[in-house]
């Protein structure tokens, strides 16, 4: 009997009933069959050895597909578990999923895995791969599964939670509880590398058992693994935590988890970022305010944050009254708005605040400057009439795009997020707001995607996602229309009819969390900042004591011109001092010897080793000022 198989290109082909997906793939194209890892039959993920007996839609998955990668990496996690349980028979398996880049498996063991252990485990995995052991799927009763895993409390808990018949995957005598699918046999994994080990709580619960997690990566070709390991080396070179310490920008201490300590160079870098920010906002007539760090708990009830955000806030008691450390700047800005009566003639009224906020993030998600508990936001609240929404949105979008371009960080994509299930405001308000955002981007000729149902509860938003130097994307800028706060705080303005009206308000940030944006810049430039951003512009290095007086004059003159520089007149060798400056990634080094003192010139060395002799100080200052004022990224 023949059955019809519909393929992704909408073509239909007939095959004998009872053939496996792998056999069908071979009939279509033997070469393609070798690349196939799993398949999708009528929208359901299946193993390649699945038999088809009726007309079906069929799609094959390869390593190029995201789902194909997940199948491949999940199969690799099983191979890891096979190796661990062979080498460490007392180890208890927990879970082993595929993740964004690779896989991991959690085990309960008597002592943590060492680097030597990982080498042995990796070696055993390679032996298992050589054997091309098939993955065989069996469905069993809950009772049978419970009996099989009676000594493993983790598997028993998972079996108890199952709402379907348990499925098991066998590799010879090894068995694991798994819904699959998997690659046909272990030999599909051509290259594997175990990367690291760490502790983890069972199911991420702080009261759960502490397990040991092993992370790994695998590929269907050795060349792909080699390329990935080179990529990881590049990632490590750009690691902002490591560079922050090396360049004396910031540090982290257990006395304040998730709250960075900024050193002098870090403050100088932030000042350079914020100087440009201030210039751009001055051009657009933003008013700058500052509001308190701690505000009464009543205010956060009025704003709605206590209802929607309380678990992320820090509360304290002062004079028998409850207060909260602000997680956002908005409510303070609303109080400032209410200080004066407002007219439509003032609109759009643009009020910005560089505000420090605190949010209670779980310790497990803290990650350098990318995820912190204390950070700075370049917030702004713009009050306007309904007719001004589109032009204000367009102006704000242009500001965001312009600033990203100046910083040399590429925009990856823009998305509009629409009304979520839980929201406030009328259908008419949401329609006007969403249509306005779409219209503004269309008029600017910008590409965007629609992220259905992911807007804030108080209004739709536009999010701007940056791509960093290693390909990750970060949501930084955002423009959010808000119906809630103008209503909750009874904000009004006098219209041209001399009556009170409710203003339209947007929240917006350009950089977002400035700490996160700084981390992106550190990694984007690998710490080698362009002159305008560099905390230390130049380092002056006199060759010997007789050159120090001239060096000091150069130092003082550069300082007068606003160039932050360092005079290194230590007793170390010139080569050592140059090397120190290079490690600090200083853009320019001025080396002063007899010739420079005699001719009143400078020998200027760039951080990549190029040297220019006979440079006049006024010429150097002119060139530096031009690069700084034009913010040239080189």
196 and 90 in one domain? yes
591 and 486 in one domain? no
Q: What CATH number did the domain enclosing 506 receive?
A: 3.30.930.10
Residue 177, strand partner residues: 168
Residue 427 pLDDT class (50, 70, 90 cuts): confident
602 and 516 in one domain? no
Residue whose token pair is 């709402």: 163
Report the percent of the chain where pLDDT is more than 70. Answer: 100
Q: Is the pLDDT of residue 296 over 90?
A: yes
Residue 514's pLDDT is what?
Answer: 95
Residue 1's pLDDT is what?
Answer: 82
Average pLDDT of the chain is 94
Residue 52, strand partner residues: 19
Mean pLDDT of 391-412: 95
Residues spanned by the domain of 599: 538-629
Q: How far apart are CA 26 and CA 22, in angstroms?
A: 6
- Contact status, residue 381 vs residue 330, Cβ threshold 8 Å: yes
Mean pLDDT of 287-310: 89
Closest-CA residue to 294 (of 320, 324, 316): 324
Residue 109's pLDDT is what?
Answer: 95
Ranges of H-type helices in 366-445 = 389-407, 427-443
Q: Is the pLDDT of residue 424 over 80?
A: no
Residue 344's pLDDT is what?
Answer: 95
Q: Kindly tell me the burial class for residue 100, based on how many C-beta atoms sit within 10 Å of its own C-beta (0-12, 13-18, 19 or more).
A: exposed
Q: Is residue 557 part of a domain?
A: yes
Q: Which of left, alpha, beta for 515 (phi over 0: left; psi -120 to 50: alpha)?
A: alpha
Instruction: For residue range 533-590, list pLDDT tens digits in order.
Output: 999 999 999 999 999 999 999 999 999 999 999 999 999 999 999 999 999 999 999 9
From 1-5, 379-383, 463-467, 496-500, the region with the lowest mean pLDDT: 1-5
Q: What CATH number did the domain enclosing 147 receive?
A: 3.30.980.10
Q: Which of 490, 524, 558 is the last residue of a domain?
A: 524
What are phi and psi for residue 369, nearest 5 degrees? Answer: -85, -10
Q: What CATH number did the domain enclosing 594 receive?
A: 3.40.50.800
Q: Is the pLDDT of residue 128 over 90?
A: yes
557 and 494 in one domain? no
Q: Is the pLDDT of residue 374 over 90?
A: yes
- Contact status, residue 231 vs residue 471, Cβ threshold 8 Å: no
500 and 614 in one domain? no
How many separate domains does the chain show? 3
Residue 483's pLDDT is what?
Answer: 80
Q: How far apart are CA 236 and CA 242, in angstroms?
A: 8
612 and 573 in one domain? yes
Residue 457's pLDDT is what?
Answer: 80
> What sign for the dihedral angle of Cα 114, 119, 120, 125?
positive
Residue 235's pLDDT is what?
Answer: 87
β-strand pairing of 349-358 with 287-288: parallel
222 and 158 in one domain? yes
Residue 423 pLDDT class (50, 70, 90 cuts): confident
What residues act catalytically? 330, 359, 377, 379, 381, 461, 507
Residue 86's pLDDT is what?
Answer: 96
User: What token pair was written down for 50?
Assistant: 């699945």
> What sign for the dihedral angle of Cα 292, 297, 298, 304?
positive
Q: How far apart are CA 609 and CA 587, in angstroms?
A: 10
555 and 514 in one domain? no
CA angle 337-328-339, nearest 5°?
15
Q: Is residue 11 part of a domain?
A: no
Residue 416's pLDDT is what?
Answer: 95
156 and 89 in one domain? yes
Q: Is residue 15 part of a domain?
A: no
Residue 471's pLDDT is what?
Answer: 82
Q: Is residue 35 part of a domain?
A: no
């Amino acid at each position: 009997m023949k059955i019809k198989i519909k393929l992704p290109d909408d073509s239909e082909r007939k095959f004998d009933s009872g053939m496996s997906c792998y056999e069908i793939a071979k009939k279509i194209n033997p070469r393609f069959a070798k690349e196939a890892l799993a398949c999708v039959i009528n929208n359901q993920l299946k193993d390649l050895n699945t038999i088809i007996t009726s007309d079906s839609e069929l799609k094959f998955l390869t390593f190029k597909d995201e789902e194909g990668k997940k199948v491949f990496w999940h199969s690799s996690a099983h191979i890891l578990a096979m190796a661990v349980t062979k080498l460490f028979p007392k180890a208890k398996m927990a879970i082993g999923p595929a993740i964004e880049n690779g896989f991991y498996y959690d085990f309960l063991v008597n002592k943590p895995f060492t680097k030597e252990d990982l080498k042995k485990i990796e070696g055993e995995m390679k032996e298992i791969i050589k054997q091309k052991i098939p993955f065989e799927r069996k469905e069993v009763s809950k009772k049978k599964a419970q009996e099989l895993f009676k000594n493993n409390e983790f598997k028993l808990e998972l079996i108890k939670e199952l709402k379907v018949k348990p499925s098991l995957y066998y590799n010879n005598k090894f068995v694991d509880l798994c819904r699959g699918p998997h690659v046909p046999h272990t030999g599909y994994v051509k290259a594997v590398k175990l990367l690291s080990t760490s502790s983890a709580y069972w199911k991420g619960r702080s009261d759960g058992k502490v397990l040991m997690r092993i992370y790994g990566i695998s590929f269907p070709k050795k060349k792909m693994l080699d390329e990935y390991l080179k990529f990881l080396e590049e990632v490590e070179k750009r690691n902002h935590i490591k560079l922050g310490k090396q360049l004396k920008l910031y540090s982290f201490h257990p006395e304040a988890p998730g709250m960075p300590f900024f050193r002098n160079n870090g403050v100088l870098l932030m000042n350079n970022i914020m100087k440009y920010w201030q210039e751009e906002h001055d051009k657009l007539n933003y008013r700058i305010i500052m509001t308190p760090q701690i505000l009464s708990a009543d205010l956060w009830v009025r704003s709605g944050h206590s209802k929607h955000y309380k678990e992320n806030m820090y509360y304290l008691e002062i004079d028998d009254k409850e207060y909260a450390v602000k997680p956002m700047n908005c409510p303070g800005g609303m109080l400032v708005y209410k200080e004066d009566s407002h007219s439509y003639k003032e609109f759009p009224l643009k009020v910005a605040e560089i505000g420090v906020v605190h949010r209670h993030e779980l310790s497990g998600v803290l990650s350098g400057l990318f995820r912190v508990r204390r950070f700075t936001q370049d917030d702004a609240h713009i009050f306007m009439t309904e007719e001004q929404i589109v032009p204000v949105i367009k102006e704000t979008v242009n500001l965001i795009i312009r600033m990203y371009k100046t910083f040399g960080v590429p925009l990856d994509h823009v998305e509009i997020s629409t009304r979520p299930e839980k929201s406030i405001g009328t259908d008419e308000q949401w329609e006007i707001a969403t249509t306005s955002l779409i219209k503004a981007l269309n008029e600017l000729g910008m590409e965007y995607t629609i992220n259905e149902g992911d807007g804030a509860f108080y209004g739709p938003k536009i999010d701007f996602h940056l791509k960093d130097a290693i390909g990750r994307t970060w949501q930084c800028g955002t423009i959010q229309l808000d119906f809630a706060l103008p209503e909750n705080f009874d904000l009004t303005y006098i219209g041209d009819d001399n009556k009170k009206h409710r203003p339209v308000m947007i929240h917006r940030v350009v950089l977002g969390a400035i700490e996160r944006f700084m981390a992106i810049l550190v990694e984007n430039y690998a710490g080698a900042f362009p002159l305008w951003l560099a905390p230390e512009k130049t380092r002056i290095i006199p060759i010997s004591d007789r050159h120090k007086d001239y060096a000091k004059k150069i130092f003082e003159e550069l300082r007068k011109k606003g160039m932050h520089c360092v005079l290194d007149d230590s007793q170390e060798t010139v080569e050592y001092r140059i090397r120190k400056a290079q490690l600090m990634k200083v853009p320019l080094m001025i080396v002063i010897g007899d010739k420079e003192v005699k001719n009143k010139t400078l020998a200027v060395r760039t951080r990549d080793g190029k040297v220019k002799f006979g440079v006049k100080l006024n010429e150097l200052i002119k060139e530096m000022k031009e690069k700084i004022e034009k913010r040239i990224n080189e």
